[in-house]
Amino acid sequence: MKHSAQELVEQRGCPAYCCRGELSTACKYQNWNFKFHDKGSVNMPKKGGKHAEMGKAMQAQCKRAKVEAACSLSVMSFESPDSLFGSLISPIKQEMFFREYWEQKPLLVQRNDPLLAAYYQSLFQLSDLKELCSQGLYYGRDINICRCVNGKKKVLNKEGKVNYMQLKKDFDQKKATIQFHQPQRFKEELWKIQEKLECYFGSLVGSNVYITPQGSQGLPPHYDDVEPGDLLYFPRGTIHQADTPPGISYSTHVTISTYQNNSWGDFLLDAIPGLVFDTAKEDVALRTSIPRQLLMQVDIADSTKKLSSLLRKLADRLENTRELRSSDMKKDFIMNRLPPCLGYDSDPLTPGGKLPKIDSKIRLQFRDHAIITVEPDQENSDEIRREMVYVYHSLKNRRETHMMGTEDDTTSEDGTSQQTHGLRFPLSYLDALKQIWSSSTVYVKELNLIADEEKENLALSLWTECLIEVI
C-alpha cells in the first residue's frame, strides 16, 4: 500500500485523505498505521508550489525518522500499558518518541521480522468480513464502500445490512476500498491493544481497517518503502493517501488513532467553569454585577480591563490549586472507553474472593479504569447542592458500542441506556479514597475515616464494584 503524505497542515480544522480518498479526521488524532499483506511504499509529490515545498520538508523528516531494527522483535508485550506501547514502537525508545516525533513529525519504523509481520496480518483480514457480515453489519455505521474519482471521494454504499457477496463484488469489480469501522468490537487482539493504549494515554483510542484492491490510482514517486511488519506514525494534521499498486491482489492496513479533543484548549474549557465556581464562593469581586446593559453592547472595550483583572485572580488561584474539576472530560472518557480485556473466554466481572472486613488488607484493582471526582450532588435538586465524591469506572462498559457514537450517545443499538458506572460517597470519604488509590495495599482499619462502620462500608462498596480485592 502506498501512503502519500501530501502536506503538513495546521493541527486542527483540516481533513486528511486516507486510503484512496476516504475522508478521515487525522487532523484531530495521532495516527498509527499497521501495514500488512503486501509490499507498498510511502510517496511524496514532487511538483512545484507550496504543497511541494511542504512535502519536501516532510520527506526529509520521514527519511531521518526511518529506523531499521537491529534484531528480530517478538510480538506485543501486554504485561502493562507501558510495555505494550514500548513494544509497539520498538526499537524506538519512548523518551525519544515523545521528544522528537509526538505531534511533530511522522515516524516510519521498519522491522524485517516475519513473526511481527504475521502478527499484524492476524489483526484483520478480508476473510474476517465474511463471518462478520453474517452477524449483521450495516452500511454507514459499520462499513463504507468508496472510491477516489478525479481526486474526490465517491461513496458506493447500499442501504441497510451488508451482504458479503455484494461487498466482494464491489471490491473486485468496482475496485472500491472497504473501510471497516472500529474492528476492536469484534477482534479480540485489537481490543487488547486498544484497551492498553487507552490506559497508556488516558484518552479514547479508535481504529479503522482499510482494504484496497489492486490497480488503484497511481500516486507520486515514493521515497520510502513500507513493508509488512512496519509501523507508520502520523501526527495530527498530516494529510495522507493510500492505494494498492498493480500486481498485488489487495492491501490491508489498520489505523489506530487517539487524542481527539484532548488539547489544552479542551481541558481549559472543561476545567475553568469549576475554577470560576469555586473562586466565586470566596471572592466577592466575582459576585458583583456586570455593568448595566453590558450584554446589549457591541463593543465591550471598557469592560476588558475588569475582565482581565478577574482572569489574573483566577490564574493566581490556579497556581495554588492542587485539583481541578474536569469532570466532563473524565466522565466522557470513562463512559466511552473499552472495558478491561481479561481473556477471550472470561465471564463478566463479578465480585469474588473474601469479603472485606475491618482487619482486611485490600488493594485497588483496575487502577487505570477508575477515576475519582468531586461534584455537586446529582441526586439532590435543591438550589444549593452539597458536594459529593463520585467514583466512576469502565469495568461494565460494552465493548460492542466502543467509539460507535450515535445521534443520541446515551442510547445503544438495542435501546438500552448507556450510563456511567460508579459509586457516590459523602465528601468526608475523599481522603480515604485517595489513600486507597495512592497505596499499593492498605488495611481497612487504617482508612482515613472516623468510624469503623464507615471504613467497612467503603471497602464493601468498592469490592462490590470489583474495584478492590482482599489479599
Q: Which of 409, 405, 337 is nearest to 191 (CA)?
A: 337
The H or E element spanning position 332 is helix 327-336
Percent of the chain whose predicted confidence (pLDDT) is above 90: 44
What tens digit of pLDDT does each residue of 46-57 get? 344 444 454 455
Domain residue extents for the chain: 2-258, 264-319, 327-470
Count other Cβ atoms within 10 Å, centred on residue 126: 18
For residue 393, what pLDDT band results from cuts at 50, 70 and 90? very high
Return the CATH fold of 2-258.
Jelly Rolls (2.60.120)
**How far apart are the C-alpha atoms of 153 and 240, rounded to whole Å?**
14
What does the DSSP assignment read for 370-434?
A: EEEEEEE-TT--SSS--EEEEEEE-TT--GGGTT---SSTTB-TTSPBP--EEEEEEGGGHHHHH
Mean pLDDT in residue range 438-458 = 96
The pLDDT value recorded for residue 342 is 83
pLDDT value at 83 more than 60: yes
For residue 69, what pLDDT band results from cuts at 50, 70 and 90? very low
Type of residue at 43: N
For residue 433, what pLDDT band results from cuts at 50, 70 and 90? very high
Least confident interval from 113-127, 285-299, 372-386? 372-386
- The architecture (CATH level 2) of 327-470 comes to Alpha-Beta Complex (3.90)
Supply 464's cell numbers: 462490590
* Cβ 317 vs Cβ 279: under 8 Å: yes
The pLDDT value recorded for residue 299 is 82
For residue 408, what pLDDT band results from cuts at 50, 70 and 90? very low
- Phi, psi (5° rounding) for residue 8? -90, 130
What tens digit of pLDDT does each residue of 339-385 get? 999 865 566 688 888 899 999 999 999 999 999 988 888 776 665 66
**How far apart are the C-alpha atoms of 188 and 340, rounded to whole Å?**
11
In the chain, what is the greatest distance between 2 CA atoms, to the nearest angstrom?
Answer: 76
**How far apart are the C-alpha atoms of 131 and 148, rounded to whole Å?**
27
Mean pLDDT in residue range 104-111 = 90
The pLDDT value recorded for residue 409 is 46
As a residue count, the chain comes to 471
Percent of the chain whose predicted confidence (pLDDT) is above 70: 75
Mean pLDDT in residue range 403-415 = 57
**How far apart are the C-alpha atoms of 127 and 125, rounded to whole Å?**
5
For residue 161, what pLDDT band results from cuts at 50, 70 and 90? very high
Q: Which of helix, strand or coil describes residue 184?
A: helix
The pLDDT value recorded for residue 296 is 87
* Cβ 66 vs Cβ 107: under 8 Å: no
Where are any strands of DSSP class E within 227-313?
Answer: 231-234, 238-243, 250-258
Return the CATH fold of 264-319.
Arc Repressor Mutant, subunit A (1.10.10)
What tens digit of pLDDT does each residue of 188-211 get? 999 999 999 999 999 999 999 988
Supply 367's cell numbers: 487502577
* Cβ 392 vs Cβ 419: under 8 Å: no
User: Which neighbouring-strand residues pair with 178?
Assistant: 145, 211
Entry pTM: 0.82
Q: Please give the span between the terminal C-alpha atoms of the chain, in angstroms, as a whole number.
A: 51
Q: Which of helix, strand or coil describes residue 42?
A: strand
Supply 194's cell numbers: 486498544
The pLDDT value recorded for residue 323 is 75
What's CA 234's distance to the chain center, in Å? 15
pLDDT value at 263 more than 70: yes
Question: What single DSSP character describes residue 40?
Answer: E
The pLDDT value recorded for residue 294 is 87
Q: Which of helix, strand or coil describes residue 361?
A: strand
Mean pLDDT in residue range 131-137 = 93
Higher pLDDT, 298 or 312: 312
| Mean of per-residue pLDDT scores for the chain | 79
**How far apart are the C-alpha atoms of 280 and 283, rounded to whole Å?**
5
The pLDDT value recorded for residue 130 is 92
Q: Would you say the CATH fold of 327-470 matches that of 264-319? A: no
* Cβ 40 vs Cβ 226: under 8 Å: yes
The pLDDT value recorded for residue 379 is 74
What tens digit of pLDDT does each residue of 232-258 get? 898 887 776 666 766 777 888 889 999
Supply 333's cell numbers: 472518557
**How far apart are the C-alpha atoms of 213 and 174, rounded to whole Å?**
9
The pLDDT value recorded for residue 421 is 80
Q: Work out the burial of residue 211: count CB atoms within 10 Å of its CB; fewer than 13 is exposed, 13-18 middle, 19 or more buried.
A: buried
**How far apart are the C-alpha atoms of 28 and 10, rounded to whole Å?**
10
Higher pLDDT, 40 or 186: 186
